[in-house]
């Protein structure tokens, strides 16, 4: 086991009507003036935004709001939200929505107190990481990104088409309220995207070069058994509160660091997926399911026993031969994606099969012009990345 630190300070209130605790929690964590950030309108339609505003009123907390966050959150709106926070003299930002809204809130929280720095310079680490940000609270409406407890956020620079993640402990939300019933209004494809993302957050940590680490493995395997069984249930019956509860809690625990403690993480598929999302606005979960099988087939021989173990522990694959079990585990995972009606290749994504020139462009961007290797399980250079994209580039 490698040395590690674990810092997950988010105050969680989970369960039916949890959103009614928002005012109390905001007060508890010092809110006086709050900038609320939300997305394309689902929270207006459901009445959630109104209800949250009323709670802040009840606690005597001043507030204003900014909406319009799109899936694959954009840099420009995050900058605008940062300016709004400054103008309003907000001392807390409240995200009411999913990963894109929370990530916009995190970015605005950074930019509001680091006015002399360009947000994208902070994001791309052109300048040293800031040491302060406004606190961010969350009312979660979709289980997927795990941003409600994570130290990271992802923005797309719409001018360059580059989608990039950023991680820093000070942007972990200070509190999060999670009512699984808020997900009853989700379109089914968003449930499926979320379930894939949650599974992927654990898979990207599970395939690691670090051996040992039994407890972390057991936690990860338990989480993956839960998200695969309960995620499918929730997809098939989007009003199954119990299944949605499991999915929502899996979302937070899969990405707060717990399932990767004491080991190096990989996250290659996320980086390759972000290139597709930056270029085509592909939904995050779909970008991952479209690539994972190709990545897995390309790298599994680095440690076939690890893949076989995943298949046996998570999918109950009863095959003795290591190589056969490893391959069966990859196939079974792809079948799970299909059961969720999710794509398993680039050809099944909206823009379809791509030219080889485009594949090379994606690989060039992912590896910063072949200057960085991706991942740790089997570090991939630009030629490897081209090979993975090519393997996925079919119908």
Shortest Å, Cβ 106 to ligand NZQ:
7
Residue 40: name its binding partner from ligand NZQ, Zn ion, none (Cβ under 5 to 8 Å by kind). Answer: ligand NZQ
For residues 91 and 104, which CB has a smaller minimum distance to Zn ion in the complex? Answer: 104
For residues 137 and 283, which CB has a smaller minimum distance to Zn ion in the complex? Answer: 283
Residue 347: name its binding partner from Zn ion, ligand NZQ, none (Cβ under 5 to 8 Å by kind). Answer: none
How far is it, in rounded angstroms, from Cα 159 to Cα 375?
27
Residue 8: name its binding partner from ligand NZQ, Zn ion, none (Cβ under 5 to 8 Å by kind). Answer: none
For the range 304-312, what are the long-range contacts, defined as Cβ-Cβ under 8 Å and sequence gap of 24 or more?
306/206, 306/207, 307/207, 310/203, 310/206, 310/207, 310/221, 310/224
For residues 185 and 376, which CB has a smaller minimum distance to ligand NZQ in the complex? Answer: 185
Residue 185: name its binding partner from Zn ion, ligand NZQ, none (Cβ under 5 to 8 Å by kind). Answer: ligand NZQ
State the burial class of residue 18 (Cβ atoms within 10 Å of its Cβ: 0-12, 13-18, 19+).
Answer: buried
Shortest Å, Cβ 201 to Zn ion:
6
Give the binding range for Zn ion (CB under 5 A) out of 125-133, 197-205, 290-298, 351-359.
Answer: 197-205
Residue 141: name its binding partner from Zn ion, ligand NZQ, none (Cβ under 5 to 8 Å by kind). Answer: ligand NZQ
**Which residue of this chain has its Cβ atom nearest to Zn ion in the complex?**
197
For residues 21 and 197, which CB has a smaller minimum distance to Zn ion in the complex? Answer: 197
Give the binding range for Zn ion (CB under 5 A) out of 37-45, 152-160, 190-198, 224-232.
Answer: 190-198
How far is it, in rounded angstroms, from Cα 395 to Cα 382?
23
Shortest Å, Cβ 308 to ligand NZQ:
26
For residues 75 and 326, which CB has a smaller minimum distance to ligand NZQ in the complex? Answer: 75
Residue 343: name its binding partner from Zn ion, ligand NZQ, none (Cβ under 5 to 8 Å by kind). Answer: none
For residues 178 and 326, which CB has a smaller minimum distance to ligand NZQ in the complex? Answer: 178
For residues 191 and 328, which CB has a smaller minimum distance to ligand NZQ in the complex? Answer: 191
Q: Which strands sit side by side in the sheet containing 62-66, from one edge to the other? A: 11-14, 175-178, 136-140, 92-97, 33-38, 62-66
State the burial class of residue 373 (Cβ atoms within 10 Å of its Cβ: 0-12, 13-18, 19+).
Answer: middle
For residues 284 and 313, which CB has a smaller minimum distance to ligand NZQ in the complex? Answer: 284
204 part of the interface to Zn ion, by CB under 5 A: no
Shortest Å, Cβ 273 to ligand NZQ:
8
103 part of the interface to Zn ion, by CB under 5 A: no
Residue 146: name its binding partner from Zn ion, ligand NZQ, none (Cβ under 5 to 8 Å by kind). Answer: ligand NZQ
For residues 274 and 313, which CB has a smaller minimum distance to ligand NZQ in the complex? Answer: 274
Binding site for ligand NZQ (CB under 6 A): 39-43, 71-73, 97-101, 103, 141-142, 144-147, 150, 152-154, 182-183, 185-186, 190, 193-194, 197, 255, 270, 284
- Token pair recorded at residue 282: 């592909």
Query: Which neighbouring-strand residues pair with 11?
Result: 175
- Token pair recorded at residue 140: 């979660």
197 part of the interface to Zn ion, by CB under 5 A: yes
Residue 362: name its binding partner from Zn ion, ligand NZQ, none (Cβ under 5 to 8 Å by kind). Answer: none
Shortest Å, Cβ 87 to Zn ion:
32
Residue 153: name its binding partner from ligand NZQ, Zn ion, none (Cβ under 5 to 8 Å by kind). Answer: ligand NZQ
Applying CB under 5 A, the residues found at the interface with Zn ion are 197
């Amino acid at each position: 086991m490698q040395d590690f630190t674990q810092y997950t300070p988010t105050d969680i209130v989970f369960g039916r009507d949890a959103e009614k605790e928002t005012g109390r929690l905001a007060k508890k964590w010092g809110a006086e003036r709050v900038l609320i950030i939300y997305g394309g309108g689902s929270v207006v339609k459901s009445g959630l935004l109104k209800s949250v505003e009323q709670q802040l009123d009840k606690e005597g907390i001043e507030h204003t709001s900014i909406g319009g966050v799109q899936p694959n959150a954009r840099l420009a709106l995050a900058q605008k939200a940062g300016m709004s926070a400054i103008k309003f003299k907000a001392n807390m930002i409240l995200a009411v929505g999913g990963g894109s809204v929370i990530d916009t809130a995190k970015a605005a929280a950074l930019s509001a107190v680091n006015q002399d720095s360009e947000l994208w310079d902070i994001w791309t680490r052109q300048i040293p990481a800031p040491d302060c940000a406004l606190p961010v609270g969350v009312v979660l409406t979709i289980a997927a990104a795990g941003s409600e407890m994570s130290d990271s956020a992802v923005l797309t620079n719409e001018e360059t088409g580059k989608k990039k993640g950023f991680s820093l402990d000070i942007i972990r939300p200070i509190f999060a309220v999670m009512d699984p019933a808020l997900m009853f209004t989700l379109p089914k494809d968003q449930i499926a995207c979320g379930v894939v993302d949650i599974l992927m957050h654990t898979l990207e940590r599970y395939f690691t070069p670090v051996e040992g680490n039994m407890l972390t493995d057991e936690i990860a395997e338990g989480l993956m058994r839960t998200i695969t069984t309960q995620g499918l249930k929730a997809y098939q019956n989007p009003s199954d509160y119990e299944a949605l509860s499991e999915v929502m809690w899996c979302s937070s625990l899969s990405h707060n660091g717990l399932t990767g403690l004491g080991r190096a993480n990989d996250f290659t598929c996320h980086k390759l997926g972000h290139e597709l999302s930056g270029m085509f606005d592909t939904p995050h979960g779909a970008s991952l399911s479209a690539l994972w099988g190709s990545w897995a087939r390309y790298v599994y021989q680095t440690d076939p026993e690890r893949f076989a173990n995943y298949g046996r522990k998570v999918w109950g694959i009863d095959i003795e031969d290591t190589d056969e079990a490893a391959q069966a585990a990859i196939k079974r995972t792809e079948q799970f994606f299909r059961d969720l009606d999710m794509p398993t290749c680039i050809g099944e994504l909206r823009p379809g099969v791509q030219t080889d020139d485009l594949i090379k462009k994606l690989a060039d961007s992912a590896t910063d012009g072949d200057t960085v290797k991706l991942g740790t399980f089997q570090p991939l250079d630009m030629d490897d990345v081209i090979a993975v994209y090519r393997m996925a580039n079919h119908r």
